[in-house]
Amino acid sequence: MASTTDTPRIGAAVAAPSPARSQGRLKHFLASEAGTGWLVATVLIALGVLAPVATLIWHAGGGSFEHWNHLFEHVLPRALVNTSLLLAGVAVLVTALGVGAAWLITAYRFPGRSILSWALLLPLAVPTYIVAFAYLDILHPIGPVQTFIRELLGYTSPRQFRLPDLRSLPGAIVLLGFVLYPYVYLSTRIMFATQAASLMEAARVLGESGRGVFLRVALPMARPAIAIGVSLALLEALNDIGASEFLGVQTLTVSVYTTWVTRNDLAGAAQIALAMLAMVALLIMLERRGRKRQRYASNLRARPMQPRQLHGPRAAVATALGWAPVVIGFIAPALYLASETFKHLAITGAVSDQLLASAWNTLKVALLATFFTLACGLAVAWAARVVRHSDHPPLARICARIATTGYAIPGTVLAIGLLTPLIAFDSLLSTLWARLSGADPALWLMGSVGALVCAYVIRFLAISVGGMESGLARIPPSLEQAARLLGESPAGTLRRVHLPLLRPAIGAAGLLVFVDAMKELPATLLLRPAGFETLATWLYAEASRGTYEEGAVAALAIVLAGLLPVILLARSQLKPVY
């Protein structure tokens, strides 16, 4: 009797689906129903990001062998050497400044430390070309610094005494290093602050000095963070065109610009751009290889280390060392720009109409780029979330990663690669429009603000996707599952459930994209419409002509626009460590 009554119970238990399996089937059903459209959108966005690279390869292959021979003999050797030396020098300097500042703030307590912890990020608000623009006038032979030194020494003429010329490769390394070190400082500071204090204390108990604890314990554990910060700084240095050209350094970026614009040689510019892409790939490979076997895990509670109180001369030295990068990288150029702006306004009484038009153009393009970048970033991040339980999660992840690679493509390379896709799109749209309305063919994107917006979206999409993914990660999946079971559509779920919760992430990402779009120079120089000026291109033109008055006004506006996201970044990422 027992066996006959137990059998159906066992069969029923086996046949009934478990709650976990039912929930998995529900997720799969919702993902398969909602994810198709979002997956298609993500694939199209990824193809749009890949299009410039594919076009670049096609243009480079179309060049004759004479192009390659000329480049290998006269252009690439010098440009490659200068670029390699520039990147090597910047890597050393940003590592020394960033790691040193991070350890100083984390390991020691001294007067002004709490302010300095976020002030060290301020150079991020100043684009590299603006720093070069400012220091070319500050350190000019008849500028304020050299004039003051000659007066102290009793000299009356620049022929009797002058400092080494800033227009040189060492000058470019120093200026770029003091502007880009915050990338290393930010990542390394967070790593130092989260390391377990017990490990440091154990090293001290075993007889290590303070220097030994830093070199043998803290620094090896921070190597992954240092590698990330250095790679970001080098990508920014490679993308730079204004500072390198102002300082007379013939880098690959400058060579691409001059080959295309000055010599009207698109194939040659594409070939140089391929060399830049190879260098970018090498940087990314070295960064990943440096982190490949660097893992840190501990079952100890991550209690932050207690900073050591400094007194007397040591505290004064620490304060001076901490503020030196801030003064050189931000305060000195910002004060110079403010001074020159006030002088210009006192003389003229107003800003020129051309400069006001440039400011309006900058605002217009930055707003459009921010809107479309956020929209594409939301589509990519949402697709990755919706289809992760469907049949195509690898495709969604691959497309999401491809969509974020545009930040690693220098602006000059991106501009050249966009030429053919933009022309092809214009040709297709003009043909369709001509058949529908009988109008003559016209350019819709090429030579318009639309081309700039496309370049900005590809370039800064990584910021938007990263912000959206981090925001969505904080929202439990059960919310959209409940909304879908209550009859809400996928688009309605996103609009009514997630978007209100994503407002902080959208706001932060939008702010960063907006400011980066305002500062972007290389892509703007190459893709802007005829007669179209932004604040960045206006400053570039003024510096090229050697007229610094109105250029200072434009530069100050860009710096002020960049201050807000830097302050927000400092407040959100750098909490006080006690």
- The phi and psi torsions of 108 (rounded to 5 degrees) equal -135, 150
The answer to whether the predicted template modeling score (pTM) of the entire model surpasses 0.85 is: no
- Taking the C-alpha atoms of residue 389 and residue 270, their distance in angstroms, rounded to an integer, is 41
What pLDDT, on the 0 to 100 scale, is given for residue 474?
77
Tell me whether residue 542 is in a domain. Answer: no
Torsion on CA atoms 256, 258, 262, 268, rounded to nearest 10: -30
Least confident of 60-69, 289-298, 309-318, 550-559: 289-298
What mean pLDDT comes out for the span 3-9?
42
Residue 453's pLDDT band, with cuts at 50, 70 and 90, is very high
| Backbone region of residue 112 per phi and psi (left: phi > 0; alpha: psi in -120 to 50; beta: other values) | left
Residue 208 φ/ψ, nearest 5 degrees: -75, 140
CA torsion sign for 264, 265, 269, 272 is: negative
Separation CA 578–CA 576 (nearest Å): 6
Q: What are the helix (H) ranges across 404-534?
A: 411-437, 449-473, 478-485, 490-493, 499-501, 503-519, 522-527
Highest mean pLDDT among 269-283, 417-431, 523-537: 523-537
Q: Which among 268, 229, 261, 266 is positioned nearest to 245, based on CA atoms?
A: 261
The three state secondary structure string of 39-95 is HHHHHHHHHHHHHHHHHHHHHHHHCCHHHHHHHHHHHHHHHHHHHHHHHHHHHHHHH
Q: To the nearest 5 percent, what fractions of the chain are helix, strand and coil?
A: 80, 0, 20
Placement of tokens 């590809």 in the chain: 458
Tell me which of 87-91, 196-200, 381-385, 522-526 is least confident.
196-200
* Cα–Cα separations (whole angstroms), residue 333 to 244, 345, 378: 17, 18, 37
Torsion of CA 144, 147, 152, 154, to 10 degrees: -170
Instruction: Please report whether residue 79 resides in a domain.
Output: yes
Q: 77 lies in a domain?
A: yes
How many degrees, rounded to 5, is the angle at CA 415 between CA 411 and CA 417? 115
Q: What is the pLDDT of residue 35?
A: 57
Q: What percent of the chain has pLDDT over 90?
A: 15
| pLDDT higher than threshold 80 for residue 330 | yes
Cα 257 from Cα 232, distance rounded (Å)? 22
| Bigger pLDDT: 269 vs 443 | 269
| Mean residue pLDDT across the chain | 79
Residue 96: pLDDT above 90?
yes
Q: Which residue has the tokens 């033109």?
A: 541
Average pLDDT over residues 114-121: 88
For 181-231, the pLDDT digits (tens) are: 998 998 888 777 766 566 666 666 666 666 767 777 777 777 878 888 888
What local confidence, expressed as pLDDT, does residue 261 receive?
Answer: 74
pLDDT surpassing 60 at residue 29? no
pLDDT at 324: 94
Sequence-separated (6 or more) residues with CB below 8 Å from residue 175: 128, 131, 132, 135, 166, 243, 247
Residue 74 near residue 217 (C-beta atoms within 8 A):
no
Neighbours of 8 (CB within 10 A): 9
pLDDT of 253 over the 70 cut: yes
Residue 158 corresponds to which tokens in the numbers above?
Answer: 């620049």
Is 536 a domain residue? no
The pLDDT tens digits of the residues spanning 257-282 come to: 888 777 777 777 887 888 888 888 78
Give percent above pLDDT 70 in the chain: 81
How is residue 109 annotated by DSSP? E
> Average pLDDT of 24-35?
47
What CA dihedral angle connects 277, 280, 282 and 287, to 10 degrees?
Answer: -160
Please name the amino acid found at residue 509: A
Domain tally, the chain: 1
Residue 270 lies in a domain: yes
CATH label of the domain that carries residue 187: 1.10.3720.10
Question: 355: which 2 tokens?
Answer: 């400069």
324 in any annotated domain: yes
Backbone Cα Rg of the chain: 28
Strand partners for 308:
108
pLDDT band at 415 (very low <50, low <70, confident <90, very high): confident
Q: Which DSSP symbol is given to 195? A: S
Specify whether the CB–CB gap between 112 and 322 falls below 8 A: yes
Instruction: Return the minimum-mean-pLDDT range out of 2-11, 77-86, 92-101, 133-142.
Output: 2-11
Q: Is the pLDDT of residue 126 over 80?
A: yes
Range in 70-74, 359-363, 426-430 the model is least confident about: 70-74
CA 387, CA 384: separation in Å to the nearest integer? 6
pLDDT: which is higher, 293 or 207: 207
Widest CA span of the chain, in angstroms? Answer: 117
Q: What pLDDT score was predicted for residue 208?
A: 67
Q: Which of 172-181, 182-191, 238-247, 392-401 is most confident?
A: 172-181
Where in the sequence is the domain holding 150, given as residue range(s)?
Answer: 63-293+301-347
For range 469-497, the mean pLDDT = 77
Is pLDDT of 91 > 60? yes
pLDDT at 237 over 60: yes
Residue 317 pLDDT level (bands cut at 50, 70, 90): very high
The pLDDT assigned to 118 comes to 86
pLDDT-wise least confident of 63-72, 134-143, 170-179, 376-385? 63-72
| Ranges 17-26, 92-101, 226-235, 301-310: which has the least confidence | 17-26
Q: What is the pLDDT of residue 564?
A: 77
DSSP 309-353: E--HHHHHHHHHHHHHHHIIIIIHHHHHHHHHHHHHHHHHSS--H
Grouping H, G, I as helix, E, B as strand and the rest as coil, residue 181 is coil
| Phi then psi dihedrals of residue 534, to 5 deg | -110, 175
pLDDT, position 22:
43
pLDDT (average), residues 324-351: 87
Region 377-383: mean pLDDT is 86
Q: How many other CB atoms are found less than 10 A from the CB of residue 103?
A: 18
Q: Is residue 381 part of a domain?
A: no
CB 471 within 8 A of CB 441: no
What is the DSSP secondary-structure string of 275-307? HHHHHHHHHHHHHHHHHHT-----SS--PPPPP
How far apart are alpha carbons 548 and 543 in whole angstroms? 6
Q: Is residue 175 part of a domain?
A: yes
**pLDDT score of 205:** 64
pLDDT of residue 2: 42
